[in-house]
Every structure is written in C-alpha cells, then in structure tokens.
Copies of this chain bind each other. A is one copy, B any other.
C-alpha cells in the first residue's frame, strides 16, 4: 500500500550531498508539506498527488549563498576596478546614503532573488539595512534566507545611531522569528566599524533571542595589522575577548587568519563564508580554505554583494573556490570538486546555521532543490566510469544557465527557466529607473570637484576669505631682526613647521584647484613633534587685488582623512604639482589687526625665501583697509611692497 505524498519527482539522477555522498542514478524524491519524506529508488512506495518527470536530469540540493548583500544588485557595475577605499567611501557609501530606503531594499532584493533562483540558489545569508524589507521581499519570492540587520558605530541609512540599529535589530528579530523561510539575525558590520560595546551587545541580543550573528571578520591584511597595533592581537582573539562567540557566529571572509584563530573559530562553532571573487576583485587576498576545513570549521561559499562581484552566480563562485585552493597551494589535488560542492550546499547550510533545514536531499529536510541539465555542449561527453565524475561536471563545466527548475520549501520558483514567483520584466524595468536616478545623482556630483569633496568628507561647504601678500627676500634674517626689534608688532604665538603641498589641477579651470597639505610641526631642536593633513579647494582665481595685496577665497577646508593616493584616484586630476617649504609662522597684532606672518623657505621647487602676510577678512571694504595696513607692515619689516609677487607658490 503506497504512502501518500504531495509531490513525487521521478526519473531523477539524484546527487543527495548527504554525508555519505549518496548518488542515485535513477531515483525519486517524495515531498509532503514542503518537506522531503523519502529519497532513492522509492517511486513505487509513494502515491503522489502530483508527479514531476525529471527526464533523467540531475536533481541536487539548491545552492546556499553563504554571504551577500542582496539589495546591492542595484549598485552592480556602478564603479569598478578602484581602490577599496575609493570604491567604498567614494561611491558605495555616498550612493547608499542618498538612495537606500525600504523601497530600494525591497526592489534590489527582488532583483537579487530573480538572479539567484535563475542560477540555482535557494538559500542565502544576507546583511544590509532595512533588513525587514529584505526579509519581506525574499519571503515573497519564496526563497530561504538568514537575514541580518546591520549595526555599526556610524549613522546608517536606516538608523541615526547604533542604539537605533540595535533596537531595529531586536524588533526585526522578534517580528520574524519562527518564519518558515526567514531566519532573522543581527549583523554587527565588522570589528573596525563597531565598538567593543556594540560587539558585546549584538552577541547578547543574538544569544538572548537565540538567532545567529552575521559579521565580517579578517577580510584584509590592513584590518589585521590595525587590530594587532591597536589591540595587541589579531581579529579573532579580539572579538572573542569581547564575547562575540557567545552567539552562533557566521564570519564572512576570514582571509587573514592563522592556525590558532582557526582552532578558536572551530571551538566557537562559528561558520565561515568564503567569498573568492570578491576577495580577488578587491585585492584582499586568498582565504586559507583548505586549512580551515582541515581544522573542522564549516566553510560555506558566498558571492558577497553584487557590487563587488558583480553577480550572484554560485556556480561561478564554487568553481573559483575549487580552482583557487589549488592555485594558492600549488596543489592540484586541493579542494576537489566534491568538496567544493559540499561547501556550496550541506557545509554552507551548516555554516549559516541552517544545516538542519537545507543543504542536502535527505528525509526531514525542507525540499530545497534544483534540476540541472548536464546534456549541454559545454558538458559533453559524459564519462560514467567514475560515479564521482558528476561532481567534476557540476563544478568545472556546468553553468548557472544549465539550471532548469528550482524548488524551495516544496514550492516551484522556476520551471523550465521561467520564474514563477517574480515579475522579472517589471523588476528589471524598475531597476533601470533606479539606475537612471543614481546616474543623475552621480553625474551631478562627478561634474563638481566640490560635490565630490562633500560626498566623501561628509562636511558642508565652508567659505573663507583672506587677503595676502608675498615678497621675495634676499636676507630673511633682516626681517626676523626687524620683527623682534619692532615695538608696534605684538607676537601672539609662533610655530615652526614643514609643509608639504600636493596640488591637483583639473581640465576645467572653473573647478578650481585642490590642495592636499601635510604639516610636520617642529620643536626648538627641529624634531617633528606632530603632523596633520588638510584639504583645501581654492577657487579658480583671485577675487580682487588692492595693489599687490590679493583677495582669495577658499571654498572648502577640511581634515584630510585619506592619503594623497586616495584623492588622486578619486579625483583623477589632469595634472599635479608638489610644493614643499619650511615655514616659521607668527600670529601678530599690528595697528589693531591680526595677521599671520610667514617666513617661508621654498625647498621644492627651490626658489629661496619669502615673507608672506595673511589675514582673514569678511568684506571688500575690510579687505581694502587691511591691504593698507599690510603695506605699512611690509615697510616696517624692511621690505618693499612694490616688489611683492602676485604669483602663488605653486605658480613659481
């Protein structure tokens, strides 16, 4: 008497990916209420409401994408081949600040689901903002996901402070916990974007609500170096110290970890998501995957966000994982095809905390499966001598487009390459409209050096006017003597420093010029005691001249948080020039007016000594008055105002 079931898949070459790697050359799979109830030569044992003929094709578990930021499909291809910081701070974050809203997140997630379903993924681990919109869009698409609400120490698109995002996370988890498709989680972004307190509070929240914690760990060598320098230890021990592993952790990347850290991860039962494309594309390195697996860590494979990949194709990703492990270790036997496929299925599911639910075709797990057609020219011929050859076919030659049918939780999401739960054309058209808006935003910004500065500085435009004059000196010591001898000049304070300027010039002169200025302050013995860097954007021309005294306007002034290389790549100047000088500076009062008095020795280019006088001003009338005082001061210091040069140092 056959057992009743909802659906029976027949005539299937079943690659179960169970822990004995059972393969059924001609098998069947019975499903009831979304669960797998039997797999194997069981067709005759079941009476199904519906039967589906697999036509002898491969039936295997749906792939598990162990780390992504699904909504970032909408930023795919926006900016590529850039330094990590330019890409992140110059493009991703400003655009996210301007565009990421719940509707953006929902749209991007739906687009991502469409792409993932098409390429055979049924489950993914996500981390983004407005994660309830990710969860909702994913559940509507019928996919399974671990959804992590981001928490970080900076203001985020969905929260003004980390306390806000933490309470968002609590609410999100409470609302979604117990959903059949969605497992909510909290996602402290990374150790370097969180405080110790945030890490601890997130772990406590995950522990209290019994959900996984998703984070980025040890992605770049710089992150590890910084951790060693600031905390005296690498990343894993540091987060362990702050009790992160009180939660079940899914750690993305782990590119730069050592054997001891691997042991710590295994002891913490943490899962790792390996993201080979992203790690290569961003130049982060090659994760020691084979070694992690030897250490007993569950390592899954992720695409990372589509902005750093640039797609969500797990077939590409698992092939790259298999290839890269061999290349990195000069060992063609490293990470064989079957192991790579395990990472993308059963082991990946375990890594993200869903090992009991998905990742293999076994009774008791959810019916998350795909049908793959290996009868493709790029996969012909097929050898049958070795039953394990199917893993090699799936890993080294199959393409995402060979996936024909996709089921998640017993529901068909794709049949014969037609999506059933998503209006694909509608989503693509909405995504195109969003891209137009982002294009417009960036075209406007890219058109203006000032706008680009504001985008990365997070600072508002600040204007500053000053009058200035500059006279070349043959005997600078005479000026020094005159300064010291004069009763009319009061020295308020003085300082001595080296100043290194890098000027960026642009093809469009109306953009002005940008100066990256680095000061090294010197003590009485000429030892460097401190340093700082600033950016100044100067208008294209002087505003006015009063004799030899000139009126200038600085349109922007801000601390320079990045290196000249960063700014060079971000602004792409048409040309640049360096100026270095030794400067002694006095703040003086003369006839009731405060001036900066500079004795400058120009060292690069070497053009000798100068006296420069500067004063802040706020109106043309005030500027004119100060110009008269400056002329007097110049004479008092033994120089001739008529010999003043109008050229700036960078023009000499």
Contacts and interface: CB of A to CB of B under 8 A. Distances in A.
A336 interface: yes
Contacts of A283: 326-327, 329-332, 334
Nearest to A438: B383
B392 A333 contact: no
A427 B431 CA distance: 41
Nearest to A282: B332
A81 B335 CA distance: 8
A316 B316 contact: yes
Nearest to A443: B385
A378 interface: yes
Interface in A95-133: 111, 114-115, 118-119
Contacts of A319: 316
Given A378-B119, A382-B432, A385-B446, A336 B81 contact: yes
A81 B309 contact: no
Interface string A271-307: 0000001011111111000000000000000000010
Given A280-B324, A569-B333, A431 B77 contact: no
A77 B389 contact: yes
Contact of A396 (B286, B310, B385): B310
Interface centre among A115, A327, A333, A428 (most CB of B within 10 A): A327
A122 B331 CA distance: 33
Interface stretch (A29-37, A53-61, A397-405, A485-493): A397-405
A75 to B, nearest CB: 9
A384 interface: yes
- Work out how many copies of this chain go into the complex: 2
A337 interface: yes
B111 A380 contact: yes
Given A277-B323, A378-B311, A392-B310, A78 B332 contact: no
A434 B74 contact: no
B431 A381 contact: yes
B111 A377 contact: yes
A435 B280 contact: no
A522 interface: no
A536 interface: no
A82 interface: yes
A109 to B, nearest CB: 13
Main secondary structure of the interface of A (DSSP, over half): helix
A439 interface: yes
A360 B280 CA distance: 28
A76 B397 contact: yes
A87 interface: yes
A77 B332 contact: no
Interface centre among A283, A310, A378, A427 (most CB of B within 10 A): A378
A73 B377 CA distance: 10
Contacts of A646: none
A275 to B, nearest CB: 12
A83 interface: yes
B333 A377 contact: no
A617 to B, nearest CB: 39
A597 to B, nearest CB: 44
A449 B382 CA distance: 25
Given A114-B377, A326-B283, A385-B439, A332 B82 contact: yes
A456 interface: no
A501 B88 CA distance: 60
Nearest to A433: B381
Interface of A: 73-74, 76-84, 87, 111, 114-115, 118-119, 221, 277, 279-286, 306, 309-313, 316, 319-320, 323-324, 326-327, 329-334, 336-337, 375, 377-386, 389, 392-393, 396-397, 399-401, 424, 427-428, 431-432, 434-436, 438-439, 442-443, 446, 569
Q: Give me the 9 closest cross-chain CB pairs, A-B, nearest first.
A: A280-B327, A381-B435, A81-B336, A283-B332, A310-B396, A280-B323, A381-B431, A80-B392, A401-B401
Given A79-B386, A281-B326, 14 more contacts: A76-B381, A76-B397, A77-B379, A77-B396, A115-B377, A280-B327, A284-B330, A311-B396, A380-B428, A381-B428, A381-B432, A383-B435, A383-B439, A385-B442
13 contacts: A73-B380, A77-B392, A82-B333, A221-B330, A280-B323, A282-B326, A282-B332, A283-B329, A286-B327, A310-B392, A377-B428, A382-B432, A399-B401
